Amino acid sequence: MGKQLNYKQLFARNAEISALLDQVCPTMNEGSGIYVLTREEDGKKFTYIGQAINIKRRMIAHIQGYSQHIDISIKKRGFYSVENPYGWKLTYKNFPVNELDEKERYYIKMAQEQGYELLNIINGGQGEGKFDINDRKPTKTYKDGLKQGYLNAQRDVAKLFEKNLEVSIKGNSNKNKEKALQKFNDFMKIDWI
């Protein structure tokens, strides 16, 4: 186990993190509401949506924590800035405590509809009606890995050709060469979703 912090060190660390949050999201307060973390990288959009009775205290807990995927991701990627364009952007909206479950589910559903990959494990809310939203992600099997590798290769090749290269048939055209060109064109048709 790591070194235990005494209460003065813990208070100083919380004050340091609070100051960081003031830079990242200057209007953040200690009210109840929904917070949304988003980031984009390589054309993919990621989000984590949570609720808190005290938003600022909850964000401090995420920054200090190691128990959730989002905690570790914040440590790894940091917060968005000009120098860190792949970091997490933080926004929030205050709501009364009795509306938090409903609002969290609403924003999670909206993020799904907008194509975000959710880092949340459940659909939101603290009471009844929770369900696992891991169904949104395909299982990770060998075939899924092959498929993802193929898609990655497609995207990379498409970018190279779009920026730098042209395709044409060498010499005289014949059925085999036309089929080969058609296969290449089919390969270049990418489903970007």
The count of structural domains within the chain is 2
| CATH code, domain carrying 125 | 3.40.1440.10
Residues 26 and 86 in one domain: yes
Residues 116 and 94 in one domain: yes
Last residue of a domain, one of 102, 117, 136: 136
Structure tokens at 16: 């340091």
Q: Could you tell me if residue 83 is inside a domain?
A: yes
**100-158 per-position pLDDT tens digit:** 999 999 999 899 888 899 888 765 555 554 445 444 444 556 776 777 777 777 777 77
Q: At 92, is the secondary structure helix, strand, or coil?
A: strand
Q: Could you tell me if residue 39 is inside a domain?
A: yes
Measure the CA–CA gap between 94 and 101, rounded to whole angstroms: 13
Q: Could you tell me if residue 106 is inside a domain?
A: yes
Q: Could you tell me if residue 193 is inside a domain?
A: no
**32-55 per-position pLDDT tens digit:** 999 999 999 988 999 999 999 999
Give the residue numbers spanning the domain of 184. Answer: 142-188
Residues 108 and 148 in one domain: no
* 86 close to 79: Cβ distance less than 8 angstroms: no
Q: Could you tell me if residue 2 is inside a domain?
A: no
Measure the CA–CA gap between 6 and 22, rounded to whole angstroms: 24
Write down the H helix ranges in 123-174.
142-164
Q: Could you tell me if residue 70 is inside a domain?
A: yes
Residue 135, Cβ density class (10 Å: 0-12 exposed, 13-18 middle, ≥19 buried): exposed
- Residue for token digits 């005290």? 54
Residues 40 and 94 in one domain: yes
Q: What is the Cα gyration radius of the chain?
A: 23
Residues 119 and 160 in one domain: no
**73-108 per-position pLDDT tens digit:** 999 999 999 999 999 999 999 999 999 999 999 999
Q: Could you tell me if residue 126 is inside a domain?
A: yes
